[in-house]
Amino acid sequence: MTVASGPTPRLLTAGQLFLDLVFAELDAAPRLGEEHWTPAFGWGPGGIANYAIAASRLGVPTVLCADAGTDALSRLVRDRLRDEGIFDGIRERADWSLPVTAAMNYGGDRALVTGGRPAAALASLLESAPLTPVAALHLDDSVSEWVRARAAQGTKIFADIGWDADEQWNPSALDVLDGCHAFLPNEAEARAYTRTDDARSAARALADRVPLAVVTRGGHGAIAVDSAAGEEVEVDAVAIDFVDATGAGDVFGGALAAAELTAWSLRERVEFAALVAAITVSRPGGAAAAPRLDELLPWLDSHPAAADPARFAFLRAALHDGASPFAASAASRTASSSRPTRIKE
């Protein structure tokens, strides 16, 4: 691992890395033989990098652990990550090239096509990963022992297990969450895995497995259940002009993992993540469009219809005179990383 000079990483991110090419504001999907142009285009590191970029831009020292090749596109992505100030925990492989994803945004959502092969299992990559207070991972079956060991050392692990390509949604796939602090599926994933009919029921069911279950609902906001504290919150989406949904859930997750380092309440942490994700989807490029910490208040000031001013009063207080909420200790806010307590109906 390359260790740059500077602050010690406080957030570890690890998983599948991509190069994302994002085409936004398309009227429809191209038909065979057609070529569509759009000026709303962006590119940048994708996959687990979405978490890392979102958190780093918010001022959280972040390390990214992933496989990359020796090809030109891998070098391009690593250069971009260094430009973002992200610690380089990349394992270079001469026998593998970085996958490339084309994301096409139309009809209020996006379609993805990826060229390449998935990276190797994550466990060996994490053997030399630094110990951090918080981690965000693309989980696979290889990391169960690592997750439990890090949780025992105090790391709060935010988990993503991704879309089930076979669409079987076997609940046993959630066994990899053992030891994780939080699970952040979207509503479709959450309902499919839990065999429930609505996001709230799904979040409550998932909170039996992890202390914090957060179900994202796109333009309908998010529902969070903290079974360790016995707390449940629902937040609305921030009103925006939608442009590009690429990486929105990952950016939300990166912001929420970063917010775990603050002393904010559960509602404030989820509201913060919702704001960061909303700003991101209001412009093209996926995580390459994620806001920096000093952009948040100016953005709210220039978009008065986006949210009730009282909603983000906590953020104005936290950023007063250029302060960073991530420098504050969150020691007063404790949560078990195992044995969640069931929320009563």
- Predicted local confidence at residue 334, as pLDDT: 42
State the Cα–Cα distance between residues 332 and 339, nearest whole angstrom. 20
The predicted model gives 65-75 an average pLDDT of 95
Q: What are phi and psi of 205, to 5 degrees?
A: -65, -40
pLDDT: which is higher, 345 or 177: 177
Instruction: Answer yes or no: is pLDDT of 174 > 60.
Output: yes
Q: What pLDDT score was predicted for residue 241?
A: 86
pLDDT at 225: 98
Confidence of residue 166 (pLDDT cuts 50, 70, 90): confident
- Please list the helix, strand and coil fractions of the chain in percent, rounded to the nearest 5, in that order: 35, 20, 45
The confidence band for 341, taking pLDDT boundaries of 50, 70 and 90, is very low
> What does the pLDDT read at residue 335?
41
pTM over 0.95: no
| pLDDT, tens digit (0-9, with 9 covering 90-100), for 110-162 | 888 999 999 988 888 898 899 999 999 988 889 999 999 999 999 999 999 87
pLDDT at 5: 52
Beta-bridge partner residues of 233: 224
What would the pLDDT profile of 4-50 be if each residue is shown by its tens digit? 456 799 999 999 999 999 898 888 989 999 999 998 888 899 999 99
Look at residue 332 in the predicted model and tell me its pLDDT.
Answer: 42
pLDDT for res 219: 87
Q: 154 and 260 in contact (C-beta within 8 Å)?
A: no
For residue 344, is pLDDT > 70?
Answer: no
* Alpha carbon separation from 233 to 33, 43, 135, 236, 286 (Å, rounded): 48, 34, 23, 10, 27
- Look at residue 288 in the predicted model and tell me its pLDDT: 82
Residue 330 has pLDDT above 50, yes or no: no
Question: Is residue 183 very low, low, confident or very high in pLDDT (cuts 50, 70, 90)?
Answer: very high
Tell me the residue ranges of DSSP E strands in 35-120.
41-47, 62-65, 67-69, 87-88, 91-93, 100-106, 109-115
pLDDT at 342: 41
Residue 343: pLDDT over 70: no
Assign 331 a pLDDT band (cuts: 50, 70, 90): very low
Cβ neighbors of 17 (< 8 A, separation 6 or more) are 45, 46, 47, 48, 49, 64, 66, 67, 68, 77, 90, 98, 119
Q: Report residue 88's pLDDT band, with 50, 70 and 90 as the boundaries.
A: very high
Stretch 284-310: mean pLDDT: 90
Question: For residue 284, what are its two tokens?
Answer: 């093209």
Q: Given this model, what pLDDT does residue 243 score?
A: 79
244-286 pLDDT tens trace? 777 788 999 999 999 999 999 999 999 999 999 999 988 877 7
